[in-house]
Chain A
Amino acid sequence: MMKDPRPVSIIMVEDDEGHARLIEKNIRRAGVNNEILAFRDGTSVLDYLFGADKSGHVSIGRTFLVLLDLNLPDMTGIDILARIKANENTRRTPVIVLTTTDDQREIQRCYDLGANVYITKPLNYESFANAIRQLGLFLAVMQVPETD
Chain B
Amino acid sequence: MFRKSRRFVGYNLVFLAFGVFALLIMVITSVLYSNRTQTYAADALTAARLDALLLKYQSDLVDAETSLRGYQLVRREDYLAPYRDALAEIPGDAKAIRDNTAAFSRPEIAPALIDELFRLGEAKLALVRGTLETLRAGDTDAAAMMSASDRGKVAMDAVRAKVDQVQRVAESIRTRQADNMREASSTLTTLIALGVGMIVTLAVAATLFIVRHMRELDQAREALVEINTNLEERVRSRTEGVLRANDELQRYAYIVSHDLRAPLVNIMGFISELETSTNLLKQFVEKSGADRADPALAEVFDATDADIPEALGFIRSSMNRMDNLINEILKLSRAGRRILEPSAIKTTDLIQTCIDAIRQRFDDAGAGVTIQGALPNVVTDRAALEQIFSNLLDNAAKYLTNDRPGRIEVRGKTRGGYAVFEVEDNGRGVAPTDHERIFDLFRRAGVQDRPGDGIGLAHTRALARRLGGDVTVESDGSSGTTFTVSIARDLGALLRSETT
Contact = CB atoms under 8 A, between A and B. Distances in A.
Contacts of A22: 265-266, 269-270, 273
A18 B261 contact: no
B107 to A, nearest CB: 119
A143 interface: no
Given A100-B258, A125-B272, A129-B272, A19 B264 contact: no
Q: How many residues of A sit at the interface, in one of the four size bands?
A: 10 to 19
A71 B263 CA distance: 13
A123 interface: yes
Q: Which of B258, B266, B269 has the most CB of A within 10 A?
A: B269
The secondary structure that dominates the B interface is helix
Contact of B269 (A71, A100, A128): A128
B273 A128 contact: no
B268 A100 contact: no
A129 to B, nearest CB: 7
B261 A19 contact: no
B374 interface: no
Interface in B380-413: none
A54 interface: no
B296 interface: no
Contact of B266 (A16, A124, A129): A16
A123 B270 contact: no
A100 B266 contact: no
B269 A129 contact: yes
A123 B264 contact: yes
A28 interface: no
Given A25-B273, A100-B258, A129-B272, A18 B266 contact: yes
Interface string A54-94: 00000000000000000100000000000000000000000
Nearest to B273: A25
A18 to B, nearest CB: 3
Contact of B265 (A25, A71, A121): A121
Contact of B268 (A16, A25, A121, A125): A125
A19 B273 CA distance: 13
Contacts of B273: 22, 25
B263 to A, nearest CB: 7
Contacts of A19: 262, 265-266
A100 B261 CA distance: 9
Contacts of A121: 265
Nearest to B270: A18
28 contacts: A16-B262, A16-B266, A18-B266, A18-B269, A19-B262, A19-B265, A22-B265, A22-B269, A22-B270, A22-B273, A25-B273, A71-B259, A100-B261, A100-B262, A101-B258, A121-B265, A123-B261, A123-B264, A123-B265, A123-B327, A125-B265, A125-B268, A125-B269, A125-B271, A125-B272, A126-B272, A129-B269, A129-B272
Interface of B: 258-259, 261-266, 268-273, 323, 327
Given A16-B263, A100-B258, A129-B269, 20 more contacts: A16-B262, A16-B266, A18-B266, A18-B269, A19-B262, A19-B265, A22-B273, A25-B273, A71-B259, A100-B261, A100-B262, A101-B258, A123-B264, A123-B327, A125-B265, A125-B268, A125-B269, A125-B272, A126-B272, A129-B272
